[in-house]
Amino acid sequence: MPTTNTSGRRKTAVARIYLTEGNGAIIVNGKDYKEYFPTLPLQYIVTQSTEVSGSTGKYDVKANVAGGGVKGQAEAVRLAIAKAIVELDAEKKPALRAKGLMTRDDRMVERKKPGRRKARKRFQFSKR
Protein backbone atom coordinates (compact mmCIF):
# COMPACT_ATOMS: atom_id res chain seq x y z
CA MET A 1 0.00 0.00 0.00
CA PRO A 2 1.41 3.41 -0.90
CA THR A 3 1.52 6.31 1.56
CA THR A 4 -1.63 8.40 1.85
CA ASN A 5 -1.09 11.99 2.91
CA THR A 6 -3.79 14.41 4.05
CA SER A 7 -4.07 17.51 6.17
CA GLY A 8 -6.38 18.62 8.95
CA ARG A 9 -6.93 22.01 10.54
CA ARG A 10 -8.46 23.37 13.75
CA LYS A 11 -8.28 27.02 14.86
CA THR A 12 -4.71 27.96 13.84
CA ALA A 13 -3.28 24.42 14.10
CA VAL A 14 -2.38 22.54 10.91
CA ALA A 15 -1.59 18.82 10.81
CA ARG A 16 -0.03 17.06 7.82
CA ILE A 17 -0.12 13.27 8.15
CA TYR A 18 1.31 10.34 6.22
CA LEU A 19 -0.70 7.13 6.65
CA THR A 20 0.90 3.78 5.79
CA GLU A 21 -0.04 0.19 6.52
CA GLY A 22 1.52 -0.93 9.78
CA ASN A 23 0.86 -1.82 13.39
CA GLY A 24 -0.78 1.34 14.76
CA ALA A 25 2.20 3.53 15.67
CA ILE A 26 1.40 7.25 15.76
CA ILE A 27 4.40 9.59 15.59
CA VAL A 28 3.79 13.33 16.04
CA ASN A 29 6.69 15.71 15.28
CA GLY A 30 9.21 12.90 15.81
CA LYS A 31 7.77 11.77 19.17
CA ASP A 32 5.27 9.09 20.12
CA TYR A 33 1.79 10.61 20.42
CA LYS A 34 1.57 9.61 24.10
CA GLU A 35 4.69 11.67 24.77
CA TYR A 36 3.60 14.63 22.59
CA PHE A 37 0.04 14.67 23.99
CA PRO A 38 0.58 13.71 27.66
CA THR A 39 -3.04 13.81 28.89
CA LEU A 40 -5.55 11.01 28.31
CA PRO A 41 -8.30 13.21 26.77
CA LEU A 42 -5.86 14.44 24.10
CA GLN A 43 -4.64 10.89 23.42
CA TYR A 44 -8.27 9.79 23.03
CA ILE A 45 -8.94 12.61 20.55
CA VAL A 46 -5.95 11.56 18.42
CA THR A 47 -6.98 7.88 18.29
CA GLN A 48 -10.74 8.51 17.97
CA SER A 49 -10.81 8.30 14.15
CA THR A 50 -9.14 4.89 14.05
CA GLU A 51 -11.39 3.53 16.83
CA VAL A 52 -14.64 4.70 15.22
CA SER A 53 -13.65 3.33 11.80
CA GLY A 54 -12.55 0.01 13.31
CA SER A 55 -9.02 0.28 11.95
CA THR A 56 -7.10 0.41 15.23
CA GLY A 57 -3.66 -1.13 14.77
CA LYS A 58 -3.88 -1.31 10.96
CA TYR A 59 -2.09 1.90 10.02
CA ASP A 60 1.03 3.77 11.03
CA VAL A 61 0.67 7.56 11.19
CA LYS A 62 3.49 10.08 10.89
CA ALA A 63 2.22 13.60 11.63
CA ASN A 64 3.78 17.03 11.34
CA VAL A 65 1.84 19.56 13.42
CA ALA A 66 2.34 23.32 13.66
CA GLY A 67 0.51 26.28 15.16
CA GLY A 68 -2.19 26.60 17.79
CA GLY A 69 -2.30 24.90 21.16
CA VAL A 70 -2.24 21.23 22.11
CA LYS A 71 -6.04 20.78 21.94
CA GLY A 72 -6.25 22.36 18.47
CA GLN A 73 -3.31 20.26 17.31
CA ALA A 74 -4.91 17.04 18.59
CA GLU A 75 -8.17 17.83 16.80
CA ALA A 76 -6.29 18.72 13.60
CA VAL A 77 -4.54 15.31 13.71
CA ARG A 78 -7.91 13.60 14.30
CA LEU A 79 -9.44 15.25 11.22
CA ALA A 80 -6.42 14.41 9.05
CA ILE A 81 -6.49 10.73 10.09
CA ALA A 82 -10.23 10.53 9.37
CA LYS A 83 -9.75 12.04 5.90
CA ALA A 84 -6.92 9.59 5.14
CA ILE A 85 -8.98 6.57 6.25
CA VAL A 86 -11.88 7.65 4.01
CA GLU A 87 -9.46 8.12 1.11
CA LEU A 88 -8.42 4.47 1.50
CA ASP A 89 -11.87 3.01 2.29
CA ALA A 90 -14.93 5.12 1.40
CA GLU A 91 -17.28 2.67 3.18
CA LYS A 92 -16.08 3.99 6.56
CA LYS A 93 -17.20 7.55 5.83
CA PRO A 94 -20.79 7.26 7.22
CA ALA A 95 -19.54 6.00 10.60
CA LEU A 96 -16.98 8.81 10.85
CA ARG A 97 -19.50 11.40 9.67
CA ALA A 98 -22.06 10.25 12.29
CA LYS A 99 -19.53 10.99 15.05
CA GLY A 100 -18.70 14.38 13.50
CA LEU A 101 -15.12 13.46 12.64
CA MET A 102 -15.29 14.41 8.95
CA THR A 103 -16.29 18.05 9.49
CA ARG A 104 -13.69 20.77 9.96
CA ASP A 105 -14.64 22.89 12.98
CA ASP A 106 -14.36 26.38 11.48
CA ARG A 107 -14.69 28.38 14.72
CA MET A 108 -11.85 30.88 15.08
CA VAL A 109 -10.96 33.53 17.65
CA GLU A 110 -12.80 36.78 16.95
CA ARG A 111 -10.50 39.69 16.18
CA LYS A 112 -9.98 42.59 18.55
CA LYS A 113 -11.89 45.73 17.53
CA PRO A 114 -10.51 49.28 17.84
CA GLY A 115 -11.78 51.20 20.89
CA ARG A 116 -12.44 47.98 22.81
CA ARG A 117 -10.43 46.06 25.38
CA LYS A 118 -10.94 42.72 23.56
CA ALA A 119 -13.24 41.60 20.73
CA ARG A 120 -16.44 42.57 22.55
CA LYS A 121 -15.43 43.73 26.02
CA ARG A 122 -15.61 47.48 26.50
CA PHE A 123 -13.54 49.76 28.71
CA GLN A 124 -15.12 50.65 32.04
CA PHE A 125 -17.71 53.43 31.75
CA SER A 126 -17.55 56.27 34.24
CA LYS A 127 -20.20 59.03 34.30
CA ARG A 128 -18.15 61.76 36.09
Domain ranges of the chain: 2-97
What integer is the mean pLDDT of 80-107? 95
Confidence of residue 2 (pLDDT cuts 50, 70, 90): confident
The domain defined by 2-97 carries CATH number 3.40.50.620:
no
In the structure, what pLDDT confidence band is assigned to residue 51 with cuts at 50, 70 and 90?
Answer: very high
pLDDT above 70 covers a percentage of the chain that reads 99
5: alpha, beta or left, given left = phi > 0 and alpha = psi -120 to 50? Answer: beta
| CA gap 121, 109 in Å, rounded | 14
Burial class of residue 100, CB neighbours in 10 A (0-12, 13-18, 19+): exposed
Q: How many residues does the chain have?
A: 128
What mean pLDDT is predicted for residues 102-122? Answer: 95
Q: In this predicted structure, what is the pLDDT of residue 128?
A: 80
Interior CA angle at 44 toward 43 and 46, to 5°? 65
Q: For the whole model, what pTM was predicted?
A: 0.92
Using a 10 angstrom Cβ sphere, with 0-12 exposed, 13-18 middle and 19 or more buried, the burial of residue 71 is middle
pLDDT of 6 higher than 90: yes
